[in-house]
């Protein structure tokens, strides 16, 4: 079994008990009916889509999707045998993808527990499409029943080299069929995986089920947060600080996965109440660009702050450790900054960097070779803050000064004028 096919989760009674305690403590276990239009400020243009248009019975677009196949249990003691082609995943001719789980024994198949009893499909964009940051969204109608486990999720594209959970996993939507009106959104990483993810859940009102009609499931993924929605209603949000002393592993590209599992350690096996076939109907999958709340990825220009002064590389030097300061705006390359798509802010071919990767108040900001570390990961808020994600602190003009040569540092975000910045938008 390829390492790229390992789902790696072990959720059963232990997960349920842990999650129940954690969610009760955080308030995430309840239905959070809060529309959040502010979050959409970080959503840009459509960058990838599959609307599943095609003739009835057609397989999915092979330029967009691969298949995981087999019956090895997928790290969760799942019971299904995943097939390729249109056997269990086909277009319906009405603009939908239908993934069908059946109770059957496919010819020539073998499962971890012996003769396979179920078939289904698992589609993934690995090797076709990956994305770092942005909105990932699907409109779907879910199956239901004991032992049915539909999911829309994403895995880090470095899975093959670092393994799970170090690669990271973003569960955009998971449902266990015995709870037809509840979905879960979770993060898995080192120290918060398997039975102890960062998680939240959403329950439809008035006893409705997600199989009664179509619903939209989405995450907004930014450098400093991941936020979950059902039908535009925000119900959960996690930030790097939620990982505690563990590493936040959501700063690299991920690929998408759609599947319907049967059985497994979390949902349990089908029983006498379960009916087959079960179908997950997918209207579309859309991925949108991330724009960091007013800053546009790839935009280049000056960054201005207190007193109208420009963020400047001292003496236009490209040496590692060169001070980043305030100075009169002069149009030189030392004041031309690019808001990069990887979360860095760049000038003169190097990155804005917190000295020694410090997270302390007063840590000075410098120019340094770009290296992808947390010291170089920044998020620009719609309120004009530039936040170092690792430290969760703001870019700050020292001593609330606008004098030429004032050093920039990181400091607890206060909303002060010396922490407000205007960034390039084009």
Q: Hey, which residues are catalytic here?
A: 169, 174
Report how far apart, in Å, the C-alpha atoms of 332 and of each of 348, 369, 395 are.
10, 20, 21
Angle at 35 between CA 239 and CA 173, to 5 degrees: 60
- Count how many residues are written for the chain: 426
Residue 359, number of CB atoms within 10 A of its CB: 15
Q: What is the DSSP string of 117-167?
A: -EEE-EEE-TTT--BSSEEEEEEEE---STTEEEEEEEEETTHHHH-TTTT
Residue 420, number of CB atoms within 10 A of its CB: 18
- Is 337 within 8 Å of 302 (Cβ atoms)? yes
d(CA 351, CA 370): 5
- Is 65 within 8 Å of 123 (Cβ atoms)? yes
- Is 311 within 8 Å of 304 (Cβ atoms)? yes
Burial zone of 34 (CB within 10 Å; 0-12 exposed, 13-18 middle, 19+ buried) = exposed
């Amino acid at each position: 079994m390829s390492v790229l096919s390992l789902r790696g989760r072990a959720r059963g009674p232990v997960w349920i008990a842990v999650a129940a305690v954690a969610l009760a403590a955080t308030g995430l276990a309840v239905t959070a009916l809060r529309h959040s239009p502010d979050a959409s400020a970080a959503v840009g243009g459509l960058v990838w889509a599959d609307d599943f248009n095609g003739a009835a019975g057609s397989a999915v677009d092979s330029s967009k999707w691969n298949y995981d196949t087999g019956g090895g249990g997928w790290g969760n003691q799942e019971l299904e045998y995943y097939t390729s082609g249109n056997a269990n995943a086909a277009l319906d001719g009405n603009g939908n993808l239908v993934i069908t789980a059946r109770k059957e024994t496919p010819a020539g198949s073998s499962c971890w527990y012996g003769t396979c009893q179920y078939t289904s499909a698992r589609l993934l964009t690995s090797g076709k499409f990956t994305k770092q940051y942005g909105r990932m969204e699907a409109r779907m109608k879910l199956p239901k029943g004991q032992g049915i486990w539909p999911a829309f999720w994403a895995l880090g594209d470095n899975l093959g080299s670092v393994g799970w959970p170090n690669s990271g996993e973003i569960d955009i939507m998971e449902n266990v069929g015995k709870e037809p009106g509840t979905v879960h959104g979770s993060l898995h990483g080192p120290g918060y995986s398997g039975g102890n993810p960062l998680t939240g859940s959403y329950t439809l009102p008035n006893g409705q089920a997600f199989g009664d009609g179509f619903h939209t499931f989405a995450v907004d993924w930014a450098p400093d947060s991941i936020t979950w929605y059902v039908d535009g209603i925000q119900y959960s949000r996690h930030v790097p600080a939620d990982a505690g002393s563990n590493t936040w592993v959501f700063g690299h590209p991920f690929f998408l996965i759609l599947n319907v599992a049967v059985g497994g350690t979390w949902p349990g096996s089908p029983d006498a109440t379960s009916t087959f076939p079960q179908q997950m109907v997918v209207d579309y999958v859309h991925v949108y660009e991330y724009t960091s709340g007013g800053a546009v990825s790839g935009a280049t220009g000056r960054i201005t702050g207190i007193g109208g002064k420009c963020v400047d590389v001292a003496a236009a030097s490209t040496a590692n450790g060169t001070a980043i300061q305030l100075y009169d705006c002069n149009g030189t390359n030392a004041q031309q900054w690019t808001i990069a798509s990887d979360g860095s802010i760049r000038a003169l071919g190097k990155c804005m960097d917190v000295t020694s990767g410090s997270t302390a108040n007063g840590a000075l900001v410098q120019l340094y070779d770009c290296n992808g570390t947390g010291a170089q990961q920044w998020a620009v808020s719609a309120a004009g803050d530039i936040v170092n994600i690792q430290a969760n602190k703001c870019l700050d003009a020292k001593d609330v000064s606008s004098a030429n040569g004032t050093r920039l540092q990181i400091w607890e975000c206060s909303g002060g004028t010396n922490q407000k910045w205007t960034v390039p938008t084009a």
